[in-house]
Structure 1
Amino acid sequence: MNISIILVRPRNPQNIGAAARAMGNFGLSDLRVVDPYEPVWREAVSAVGAHEILQNAKWYSSLKEALFDADLVLATTALKNRKINQEIVSLPDISAYLKESGSENCAIIFGPEKTGLSSEDISLAHCVLNIPTTAKVPSINLAQAVILCCYELAQTESSARGAKFKKPSFKEVEIVQNNITKMLAFLDLPPVLGEKVRSRRLAELASKRMLDKEDLFFINSIVNKIISAFIFGTSYNNSSKFIS
């Protein structure tokens, strides 16, 4: 299993460096950084003896871009004052969870030091990874969180189930979501199923990871045919609104 560690908007060079060292300690090498504070990022990368993992880290402007190849996305967050719609996995259970998932490319997301991941960031994840802590001090330092997760991830071995059930990547799922959104725009849906509601429900369905690549290809083929029928057909009198 390929595992990517993603730091979203990090602001402390020491935490960035410690995260990279932790990855090296436990055999991980794919570090991705989303919209870091540039002066801090330069300081971290240019530090004397900077870890090779840090110097080879990939920089992305958005979290979606960083998740392009992931077929399993886990968002780390403290649960206090959070409304979580996804499945919650406790860190001690992560090894068994990953083996059961059958995934090939897993991404673990860590938020900025002061605020943690935003609700929008978390909505992109298939599940939430929680590090058990006491109720009085529910959150822990970014670098410490990465170290703990890397240790547990190092216990995970590839599962044979992965070859039988091919998970679609985040990018592949996003393409189908966008096509379904285009298709739904043609339909005369009631106000209760407005654009925001449709977008939220599609995101929730995508996070459940019920479909493999063949299922997704089948759905996308049908959706594209329906869109083409609306654009080029004569039975729908508002088809012109979709043509640019």
Structure 2
Amino acid sequence: MKKLVHSLNAAGIEIFADWLKDPKGSAPTAMLDDPSYCVEIAKEFWVDINRVFDTTFELGKYLHEEVFHNVSDPVSLDSNTGMWAWISLAFISSLLSKSSTRNNKPLDLPHYLELSGQTGRRLGYRLIARTAWKLVRLHGPLAEIALGSKKSPWGEMAEQMTSRQEIFAHPSFWAVAFRLYRGPQGELRRGATSQRPASARKDPKNNAGKGGVRRLPSTFRQFDRTYLTRAMSLEQMLQVLPKEYQRWVAQS
């Protein structure tokens, strides 16, 4: 069913937030075209609210290629928090937890709504639908490395690759991460998001957690002191990566 994209007003956002905090019964999707809870936006965009997506990457690809294509003012679209709340509600069935303990339950509030004030600005990257659209728009198929999980609409890879502004839009970072951590069948390589334990830090011979995505941003920060990394090709980046990444390069 095609619906014209709207923006949830304050009353609509409050009702949606209440449901997210205490999800009894079905999501309040009846608000999607109720003028008491939503308002029209400046331009016409249409979505098929019956679409269901196996991964957040698929949702982002749909929004970029079929809904918000040829957008002349992406900054204005990005900042329309009421519209992204509407989008979150429209596709809520694809954005719920898939874990065994919280199956079909919402994740934390910032994954669907932008909170007010400084907290909202700090956690804005977690608004799943908006970030999915932005990443596919910026990085195309490379965005799948962060958004391709079928186990959760927002996995650890998404958190690690979007929480730092210096790498969010960094083309070389995404190309390297895609090469290192994506398996031959599109799966995430085992250990890609592992954290280096405190015990391993005391033992130079212990390689646990080395070369993973948690360490890659700091490697890029160090490189930026010497190289113009945004202008480097993927092969150039792979050649200068430290030794700890070589096993990942060899497997790619």
Q: Whose helix fraction is larger, Structure 1's or Structure 2's? A: 2
Provide TM-score, normalisation by structure 2.
Answer: 0.29
Provide TM-score, normalisation by structure 1.
Answer: 0.30
Q: Whose strand fraction is larger, Structure 1's or Structure 2's? A: 1
